[in-house]
Amino acid sequence: MAYSFPEEVLEHVFSFLHSDRDRNAVSLVCKSWYEIDRWSRRRVFIGNCYAISPRAVIRRFPEVRSIKIKGKPHFADFNLVPDGWGGYVFPWITAMASSYPWLEEIHLKRMVVTNACLELIAKSFKNFRVLVLSTCEGFSTDGLASIAANCRNLRELDLRDSEVDDLSGHWLSHFPDSYTSLVSLNISCLGSEVSFSALERLVSRCPNLRSLSLNRAVPIDRIACLLRQAPQLVELGTGAYNAELRPDVFSSLSGAFSCLKELRSLSGFWDAVPAYIPAVYSVCSGITSLNLSYTTMQNPDLTKLVSQCPNLQQLWVLDYIEDCGLEAVAASCKDLRELRVFPSDPYEEDEFDIALTERGLVSVSEGCTNLQSVLYFCRQMSNAALISIAQNRPNLTRFRLCIIEPRSPDYLTLQPLDAGFGAIVEHCKGLRRLSLSGLLTDRVFEYIGTHAKKLEMLSVAFAGESDLGLHLVLSGCESLRKLEIRDCPFGDKALLANAEKLETMRSLWMSSCSVSFGACKLLCRRMPRLNVEVIDETSEVAESRPESFTVQKLYIYRSVAGPRLDMPDYVLSMGEESPDLIG
């Protein structure tokens, strides 16, 4: 066709499409658009490392510069996935080492990363810039030393929430003196003390440093001199924030903070001593993100700090904030968009420790008109409160409520909380993520199936009465991608009746439910592009299980790579060995 656009023009147009969904749509228009997208795609997101083989990704997208891969299911965060389950990134790194020499960024979540992986990364990618390891494990500080020593162009090293075998803080000293390109460093999950002088020299020679999250071992009296070397910081995570109050330390710290004109985000504050908190007051007016979820500071100091941040958009805090603190947030932080309240003492048995109740959340829902995202742990809830919240905040996109005691009813009426959650899904039409808790019957799933049309991720625990609940969700929630269920009376019927739905989703996790071994085999036989994995940690030989045996844990996910080959003993794939479907 003589009048078609030159490829370069199309490629340029495509470069304005940032979402994967848009690029995927564009690639389906015609063969030439598919090819142009193929060659120009620079970022790839693999939501499940077992959904596709590394080879297949490389074959389709030969010029990738940035890759993000997720491994274990979300419930692995709560110890529901046994060790050795999988999620190994090594096969991906080896494949990319030879095929993506210009790779710049690797983002991993819930994957097993070994020192060998880190060494391979350090050696293979000459222009490597960004390494983000979120909730990963399997490596030690020796692996970090390789990265520090070899990645000349490293911009970002972010170890958020990873479990690192922390042998010593010496690895930080492996950054050579000539290395000056650091922009972001997050070592908050590490326990060992890093050499402070190495840290200070690193900070002082990296003029582009924007984000620095220290670990607990950095004492409060050292922070001031670090901050003075980096007045351009936008994000800061302090180390431990406690010491006996000394006026010289306080004024030094206070002075250092007042120089941070660009600071927008604060976190850390382990063991915070209230007397030192006023040192940060000078930056509060610019703060948009505050993570106080590691600090044991209580009211009134905690509330006082938060209320000084009128531009706050994101607040993570422990339940020490209490209802009164949240009322103050509702009054002062009018631009709040995300609130997370974590339990300070998740196993607290004493019933009278209830200074944080549903009232705090209702206040915030009333006062903060931009509130979109909520994660809230509490000990009591009522339908009336949930209905209020839903009516106040129809713009909620993420609502995760955890009432700590399983199956807690509405504490005022003793009824199930079906109506309350029903109101949430009815009013919040853009809701994408929902976590349920409390006493719930099948009725709540009727509401969800009927109303939650944009819902992408649903977490359910100790809820429902029968298979109808699961069926209502699978048949009603058109946008559902991830479903995770534990301790619910859901079984074979709903699963088998909605088998095709499962292929439209990324994954389904069910543990301590009522699904039988036989149903898993049946499902697998019918749906060749689903991997159906049964996790069975008891000692009996798996093959001898009768069809009626109830599986402990079940993980089902769509895949074009066939059953994986790295399963441990206790994971059984229900399918027979199938050939690589890519061919």
Q: How far is the CB of 339 from other proteins (least distance, A)?
A: 17
d(CA 177, CA 224): 22
Q: Which residue lies nearer to other proteins by CB, 239 or 563?
A: 239
Alpha-carbon distances, residue 203 vs 168, 212, 227 (angstroms): 20, 9, 9
Q: How far is the CB of 399 from other proteins (least distance, A)?
A: 15
Q: How far is the CB of 515 from other proteins (least distance, A)?
A: 14
Q: Which residue lies nearer to other proteins by CB, 22 or 478?
A: 478
515: nearest Cα among 538, 472, 475, 485: 485
Q: Phi-psi bin for 244: left (phi > 0), alpha (psi -120 to 50), beta?
A: beta
344: nearest Cα among 354, 332, 333: 354
Q: How far is the CB of 14 from other proteins (least distance, A)?
A: 30
Helix ranges, 230-321 (H): 247-258, 301-307
Q: Are 480 and 505 in contact (CB under 8 A)?
A: yes
Q: Which residue lies nearer to other proteins by CB, 41 or 70?
A: 70
Written as one string, the DSSP assignment of 106-141 is: EEEES-B--HHHHHHHHHH-TT--EEEEES-EEEEH
Place of tokens 């399918």: 575
Q: How far is the CB of 413 from other proteins (least distance, A)?
A: 5
Q: How far is the CB of 374 from other proteins (least distance, A)?
A: 15
Q: Which residue lies nearer to other proteins by CB, 156 or 418?
A: 418
Q: How far is the CB of 73 from other proteins (least distance, A)?
A: 12
3-class DSSP state for residue 237? strand
d(CA 465, CA 470): 10
Q: Is 83 exposed, middle or buried (0-12, 13-18, 19+ CB in 10 A)?
A: exposed
Q: What is the DSSP letter of 334?
A: T
Half-sphere exposure (Cβ direction) of 199: Cα atoms closer than 13 Å: 23
Q: How far is the CB of 319 from other proteins (least distance, A)?
A: 11
Alpha-carbon distances, residue 3 vs 6, 37, 466 (angstroms): 9, 20, 61
Q: CB atoms < 10 A from the CB of 544, how many?
A: 7
Q: Which residue lies nearer to other proteins by CB, 115 or 441?
A: 441
Q: How far is the CB of 407 from other proteins (least distance, A)?
A: 7
Q: Which residue lies nearer to other proteins by CB, 349 or 577?
A: 349
Q: How far is the CB of 488 from other proteins (least distance, A)?
A: 13
Q: Which residue lies nearer to other proteins by CB, 11 or 271?
A: 271
Q: Which residue lies nearer to other proteins by CB, 249 or 494?
A: 494
Q: Which residue lies nearer to other proteins by CB, 94 or 296?
A: 296
Q: CB atoms < 10 A from the CB of 45, how many?
A: 12
303 contacts: CB under 8 Å, gap ≥ 6: 321, 322, 324, 325, 328, 329
Q: Which residue lies nearer to other proteins by CB, 67 or 460?
A: 460
420: nearest Cα among 430, 410, 411, 428: 410
Q: How far is the CB of 384 from other proteins (least distance, A)?
A: 8
Q: Are 151 and 128 in contact (CB under 8 A)?
A: yes
Q: Which residue lies nearer to other proteins by CB, 134 or 258?
A: 134
Helix ranges, 413-547 (H): 418-427, 442-451, 467-476, 492-497, 499-503, 517-526
The separation between the first and the last C-alpha atoms of the chain, rounded to the nearest angstrom, is 32
Q: How far is the CB of 191 from other proteins (least distance, A)?
A: 5
Q: Are 452 and 434 in contact (CB under 8 A)?
A: yes
Q: Which residue lies nearer to other proteins by CB, 122 or 472?
A: 472
Q: What is the DSSP letter of 279?
A: G
